Amino acid sequence: MTELTLGKALGAGLRRALRDDDKVVLLGEDIGRLGGVFRITDGLLDEFGPTRVIDTPLAESGIVGTAVGLAFRGYRPGVEIQFDGFVYPAFDQIVSQVAKLHYRTQGRVKMPITIRIPWAGGIGAAEHHSESPEAYFVHTAGLRVIAVSSPEDAYRSLRQAIACDDPVIFFEPKRLYHHKGEVDLGAPLADAPPMGLARVVREGSDATVLTYGAMVTTALQAAEAAEDEDISLEVIDLRSLSPVDYGTVAASVRKTGRVVVAHEASREAGVAAEVIASVTELCFEYLESAPVRVTGHDVPYPPAKLEKYHLPDLDRILDAVDRVLDRPHSVSGADA
Amino acid sequence: MSPQITPIADTAQDLELSERILAPDGTRLSNPRLDGYVADVDASVLRSLLRDMVILRRIDAEGVALQRQGQLGLWAPCQGQEATQIGTARALAPQDYIFPSYRETGVIYARGAQPADYVRMWRGEEGAAYDPAALRVAPLQIIIGAQTLHAVGYAIGIKHDGADEVAVTYFGDGATSQGDVNEAMIFASSYQAPVVFVCQNNHWAISEPVAVQSQFPIAGRAPGFGIPSLRVDGNDVLACMAAMRWALEHARAGRGPAYIEAVTYRMGPHTTADDPTRYRTEAELEAWRSRDPIARLEAHLRAAGELTDEQAAEHRQAADALAAQMRAACLGMVTRPPLAVFDGVYAEPHTGLQRQRDEYAAYLATFEGEA
């Protein structure tokens, strides 16, 4: 085991993928000599050269569109979008081309493209640098959507995404790039849990908190705090947003009977809405109370000085826990 | 080799500024720039080009007829563009790979499409019309200009592989306004990718005339990206073939991308859902009828005594035969069963979609045994 930051683990995952399969190529702005604005691709140009690690013009649709052509040619492109808010110029190529070509051709054309997106807020960034666009991609058939939350998961899931014959939108929480954890760099991919599986991060019995990305850390903090009040929270990192692992989710909900879903993305038609709808369909008779969402507000991502009022924190999660447990509380709920 | 770059506004002047080998009346002109690329083209090759164009026009007419009879949901006619499509596509090597738009019926014909391939997508049976690997042609692309980037990415792959291949992409004049086409030219130029851009300037992007897209010859843009270009008379099959041979030779020699603007005219509607009488005049159509690519080549061959009535009749018979096969293939198509709607979304199992599929299968099963 090696202790690595999440960012370094991602770099190690890319290096391993490049070594394992010479059809893997990386494309993106600044990924070469600079090593990416977050240095995730640091050193890869030197090791693999400019035909494997391709610095591109500053054109997101161009990056994804040429990746489509490379996939036609049998390559497995790994694309880096510089920031979440910059993926929109590539949106057409992702949803109209990357997502649909396998279906349109009855499986004759594969699109094994991994699109890495440094993602979400909490780092005091400038406008367009802190967004959570995952619902757009979850809503698009043909894509898989992954959000990682730990160095080990980042290393393993990224390799799985690149090895996957389907296109994968791969969200990397910027807020956690410097978080450290143990990574088993030698572990065979075949032994790892599949990319689509959720992970029970903390076991508990009173309520289930479903979340992903950087919010996993916040949810764990909330669970620590709740323990002081003898509330036992089960925290599940969904890891995969398409597909969601409802086997793991439903097993937990059947145990606890109470559900909180937390994410940074805004609420309307978001991932939490979908997860709660599915949980309700799958285990309605086990629910002791109405599930509660804790999300970003339905506002454009606010300026950095205001983002703390937008992002769910442990107090908002605990408030939601109070509501699903029908406990008296100070902020919102039954008496509101 | 770079184009003349005189600003344009009207179609007549527009055409006079393009390279040509055959005059509209079929007269063979001297063209020092292009002649060398078609020096080997003898009468038998010219006849085969004519035959291809006659067959293509018949396929196109059959597509329109099938749509009018309710057999196809839509058809995108290419009448008037036969010389551009046949002339350029016939110049390709078998290993070259094409990324077309939806109007490239002649291009897939030249690549060996089967009768059903012309109609499968327009009938709504499958998302793509044919097997891309069999024709070495990507699925027909409806999003305007998106395929140009795919061609460039493919060409980057060719270069990395060190392969003796060229990627080719076809698009219309309207597509040149799209960001993707401009990004494709930037990427192609930056990586010196072996890709050929073929812009079929057919003068109309649905109802928008080319003057709305461009106040400057479209071929004039390419040199600004560092890509040499050629502007040819798109109704002159020899000029189109010569231009394509020039472009392919350039790309194949490792000198990077090349660009062709074929100045032609879409004689029919944009699609069968369009009514061009609302936005263009009969006089304009008449002017272009006199430049008909098929009549032009036929006149050339007749004047040279290289086309007999029997040969012309054989072309028409071959065209009718293919049209009949196309119609039979269309009418004989069997729509896939309901659960096929789920097929091929993902290459690997996706539990969310599997759940929906199972739910729908269970729902369908409730109808079993009903009349």
Non-local (6+) Cβ contacts of A230 within 8 A are none
Residue B103 contacts residue B172 (beta carbons within 8 Å): yes
Query: Which residue in the set B149, B346, B351 is minimally distant from A142, CB to CB?
Result: B346
Nearest CA distance, B26 vs chain A (angstrom): 40
Taking only the tens of pLDDT, chain B with its 371 residues reads 444 444 455 555 666 678 999 999 999 999 999 999 999 999 999 999 999 999 999 999 999 999 999 999 999 999 999 999 999 999 999 999 999 999 999 999 999 999 999 999 999 999 998 999 999 999 999 999 999 999 999 999 999 999 999 999 999 999 999 999 999 999 999 999 999 999 999 999 999 999 888 888 899 999 999 999 999 999 999 999 999 999 999 999 999 999 999 999 999 999 999 999 999 999 999 999 999 999 999 999 999 999 999 999 999 999 999 999 999 999 999 999 999 999 999 999 999 999 999 999 999 999 988 76
pLDDT of residue B366: 96
**CB distance from B17 to chain A under 8 Å?**
no
Across residues A263-275, what is the average pLDDT? 98
B360 as an active site residue: the answer is no
Q: Looking at the complex, does the CB of residue B157 fall below 8 Å from at least one CB of chain A?
A: yes
Which one of the listed residues B51, B221, B270, B327 is annotated catalytic?
B270
Three-state secondary structure string covering chain B: CCCCCCCCCCHHHHHHCCECCECCCCCECCCCCCHHHHCCCCHHHHHHHHHHHHHHHHHHHHHHHHHHCCCCCCCCCCCCCHHHHHHHHCCCCCCCEEECECCCHHHHHHCCCCHHHHCHHHHCCCCCCCCHHHHCECCCECCCCHHHHHHHHHHHHHHHHCCCCCEEEEEECHHHHCHHHHHHHHHHHHHCCCEEEEEEECCEECCEEHHHHCCCCHHHCHHHHCCCEEEEECCCHHHHHHHHHHHHHHHHCCCCCEEEEEECCCCCCCCCCCCHHHCCCHHHHHHHHCCCHHHHHHHHHHHCCCCCHHHHHHHHHHHHHHHHHHHHHHHCCCCCCHHHHHCCCCCCCCHHHHHHHHHHHHHHHCCCCCC
**CB–CB contact A92 B343 (8 Å):** no
User: Is A243 close to B149, i.e. CB distance below 8 A?
Assistant: no
Q: Residue A93: its chain B contacts at CB < 8 A?
A: 146, 149, 180
pLDDT of A192 higher than 90: no
Dist. CA A278–CA A257, nearest whole Å: 14
Half-sphere exposure of B268 (CA within 13 A, CB side): 19
Sign of CA dihedral B347, A89, B76, B291: negative
CB contact (8 A) between residue B350 and residue A144: yes
Query: Quick check: helix, strand or coil at residue A180?
Result: strand
State both tokens at A172: 């990397």
- Nearest Cα to Cα of residue A195 among A233, A154, A229, A227: A154
Selection from A82, A85, A171 nearest residue A130 by Cα: A85
In the prediction, which pLDDT does B11 show?
53
Rg, Å, chain B Cα set:
22
DSSP states along A45-81: HHHH-TTTEEE--S-HHHHHHHHHHHHHTT-EEEEE-
* Number of CB atoms found within 10 A of residue B161's CB: 13
**Residue of chain B whose alpha carbon sits nearest to that of A53:** B160
Residue of chain A with shortest Cα separation from B133 = A108
Task: Measure in Å the smallest separation between the Cα of B141 and chain A Cα atoms.
Answer: 9
Contact B184 A65 (CB under 8 A): yes
- CB atoms A102 and B347 under 8 Å: yes
B145: closest CA of chain A, how far (Å): 11
pLDDT for res A193: 87
Query: Which residues in chain B have Cβ-Cβ distances shorter than 8 Å to A107?
Result: 343-344, 347
Q: Contact at 8 Å (CB) between A258 and A287?
A: yes
Shortest distance, CA B27 to any CA of chain A (angstroms): 41
Mean pLDDT to the nearest integer, A292-297 = 98
Distance (Å) of CA B300 to CA A329, B16, B53, B288, B361: 91, 19, 14, 18, 62
**Model pLDDT, residue B371:** 64
Q: Output the six-digit token pair for B324.
A: 């009949």
Tokens 């759940």 map to which residue?
B355
Nearest by CB to residue B146, choosing from A70, A92, A108, is A92
Q: What is the ipTM of this complex?
A: 0.95
DSSP, collapsed to helix, strand or coil, labels residue A129 as: coil
CA dist., res. A25 & res. A28, Å (int)? 10
According to the model, what pLDDT value does residue B9 have?
52
Contact B347 A69 (CB under 8 A): no
Residue A159 DSSP SS3: helix
B154 is catalytic: no
pTM of the entire predicted model: 0.95
Nearest-by-Cβ selection for A61 from B132, B154, B183 = B183
Which residues of B fall within a CB distance of 8 Å from A166? 346-348, 350
Tokens in use for B286?
């008449």
Residue A336: per-residue pLDDT: 41
What pLDDT is stored for residue B2 in this prediction? Answer: 45
Interface contact B100, partner A, CB < 8 A:
no
